Chains A and B, each alone.
Chain A
């Protein structure tokens, strides 16, 4: 294992100490794994709390700041945070207008956030939870844990964060978060596995000419393994899977071509060129786009494409000012 770390057990806390040093505008507790806006709690503003396993940076801690999250809870690598962290973050940001928990749909995340929401009730804090499940690679049926939360998490944190910044109610902020989730889909492809620092070896092995289709963001294997294709073929497979689930023709869309952590930006732009061409050829109009590593899976190579069918109001909220370590514009 060749990693730029001090010790496998200290990766998360060391990284958070780095985040704190690089971003004095955040209040970071490296021991407890919480990252909070320095101006929290904001009286009368709905607060957004998200979190999950670490290893997806900049998600979630990198999206704490003006116009996005009020706090993030960072679990161990690929392991959901514990209720103690979530309740600490929730109490730190509660400004009396309620707290929205944005939870990616993984069994552990859902359970730990649910336990924390029950604790928050005991403290008389109103909590609403919205579950993110945008990954079309997983069949949404009683035979699975349901679709995973992946790239759309960024869309939801940005758009719901913008509405909360405008002073909207908890019900309205939760409603827009659900709306974005319903209008978003993602599909990911891995060209390599990744190594969880504490495990020390890659989670799965891929042959030189193989790729893994329909991956999540935790280095878990996907739905199928196939011979590696060109960027155009990989993008076609990804967007076809999305389009089959949520027809895109005639829509104005926001597109994220998301590097998984190990694929260089030049290849992400190769993929974006193919994606833009594909969408144009299939009758969708790209009105907003984002290219880069935003929701990563450690050093996994590959990319995930996320698409959101925008409305004028969602576009307006996407464009609203944001100032976080990982996303900033308009201020």
Chain B
């Protein structure tokens, strides 16, 4: 993938978030404060506006991540901003991103999110989508799968991970205030994380 592909990812993710904003907000209203889709939509629009021309892939993601931190607010701003900024930093100045580099970037994004949010798998957060995605990517890569296949495996794992948050009891974020009443609802952050991975899979599949 090159810088244009990664900019296309951010654009496509923004489209998916915008199209799904109402559903994400509904999920958040059930166990949070009902603004996840609205906030993420605002953040990703800002990210699209901030996409630089002629910069290497890493810088594209860093610029998008910074814009998200600057414009989103809430917990999703710092967390999604961190996903893109850490992934971008991991890519360095290279002009081309192969499967191994993309896998490492996703792992760096996960590490950044966990450092900032202190969540682990099972807490009913975005980590429950991102961690299985990173693991599935690595497993596919080890099997000799190409980039598009690796991202597809990651996207599928993220979607399954998001579904698996439904019965969980939240231990982080606003949903944790509900205790057992948080059970039976999908975590909105895990759901939006699955969207990002799906966007990446679509873009990688075209390339």
Instruction: Give A residues with C-beta under 8 Å from B.
Output: 53, 75-84, 106-108, 111-112, 115, 137-139, 142-145, 148, 196, 198-199, 203-204, 216, 218-223
Contact call A82/B72, Cβ cutoff below 8 A: yes
Pick from B29, B35, B117: contact of A79, CB under 8 Å = B35
Contact call A138/B177, Cβ cutoff below 8 A: yes
The residues of B that contact A223 with a CB separation of less than 8 Å are 177-179, 181
Interface residues on B, range: 20 to 34
A-B contact pairs, 16 of them (CB 8 A): A53-B74, A80-B74, A82-B71, A82-B73, A82-B77, A83-B69, A106-B174, A107-B172, A108-B75, A137-B177, A138-B176, A138-B177, A144-B179, A220-B32, A221-B178, A223-B177
Scan B31-64; emit 1 where CB is below 8 A from any A CB, else 0: 1111100110010000000000000000000000
Docked CA distance A139–B29 (Å)? 21
Within 8 Å of chain A (Cβ to Cβ): is B23? Answer: no
7 nearest interchain CB pairs?
A108-B75, A108-B74, A144-B176, A111-B78, A218-B33, A79-B73, A107-B75
A221 and B181 in contact, given A76-B73, A78-B33, A84-B70 (Cβ under 8 angstroms) = yes
Interface of A: prevailing SS: loop
A198 and B33 in contact, given A80-B74, A107-B173 (Cβ under 8 angstroms) = no
A220 and B33 in contact, given A80-B73, A82-B70, A115-B69 (Cβ under 8 angstroms) = yes
Within 8 Å of chain A (Cβ to Cβ): is B18? Answer: no
The residues of B that contact A53 with a CB separation of less than 8 Å are 73-74
Contact call B75/A111, Cβ cutoff below 8 A: yes
Docked CA distance A84–B72 (Å)? 11
Docked CA distance A218–B175 (Å)? 12
Within 8 Å of chain A (Cβ to Cβ): is B89? Answer: no
Within 8 Å of chain A (Cβ to Cβ): is B76? Answer: yes
The residues of B that contact A196 with a CB separation of less than 8 Å are 33-35
Scan B61-99; emit 1 where CB is below 8 A from any A CB, else 0: 000000001111111111100000000000000000000
Within 8 Å of chain A (Cβ to Cβ): is B192? Answer: no
A204 and B29 in contact, given A108-B76, A112-B78 (Cβ under 8 angstroms) = yes
Contact call B174/A107, Cβ cutoff below 8 A: yes
When C-beta atoms are compared, the residue in chain B nearest to A216 turns out to be: B177
The residues of B that contact A218 with a CB separation of less than 8 Å are 33, 174
When C-beta atoms are compared, the residue in chain B nearest to A141 turns out to be: B171
Docked CA distance A84–B77 (Å)? 12
A108 and B38 in contact, given A84-B70, A145-B177 (Cβ under 8 angstroms) = no
Docked CA distance A38–B25 (Å)? 38
Contact call B174/A79, Cβ cutoff below 8 A: no
CB distance from A166 to the nearest CB of B (A): 34
Contact call A115/B78, Cβ cutoff below 8 A: yes
The residues of B that contact A115 with a CB separation of less than 8 Å are 69, 78
CB distance from A9 to the nearest CB of B (A): 9
Within 8 Å of chain A (Cβ to Cβ): is B116? Answer: yes
Scan B110-137; emit 1 where CB is below 8 A from any A CB, else 0: 0000001100000000000000000000
A143 and B176 in contact, given A107-B75, A108-B77 (Cβ under 8 angstroms) = yes
CB distance from A295 to the nearest CB of B (A): 15
When C-beta atoms are compared, the residue in chain B nearest to A203 turns out to be: B34
* Most interface-central of A148, A218, A221 (chain B CB within 10 A): A221
The residues of B that contact A144 with a CB separation of less than 8 Å are 171, 176-177, 179
Question: 7 more A-B contacts (CB under 8 A) besides A76-B42, A107-B117, A143-B176?
Answer: A76-B39, A78-B34, A111-B75, A115-B69, A143-B169, A145-B174, A145-B177
Contact call A199/B173, Cβ cutoff below 8 A: no
Docked CA distance A223–B178 (Å)? 5
Docked CA distance A106–B41 (Å)? 21
Contact call B171/A142, Cβ cutoff below 8 A: yes
When C-beta atoms are compared, the residue in chain A nearest to B68 turns out to be: A82
A145 and B172 in contact, given A107-B117, A111-B75, A115-B78 (Cβ under 8 angstroms) = yes
CB distance from A288 to the nearest CB of B (A): 29
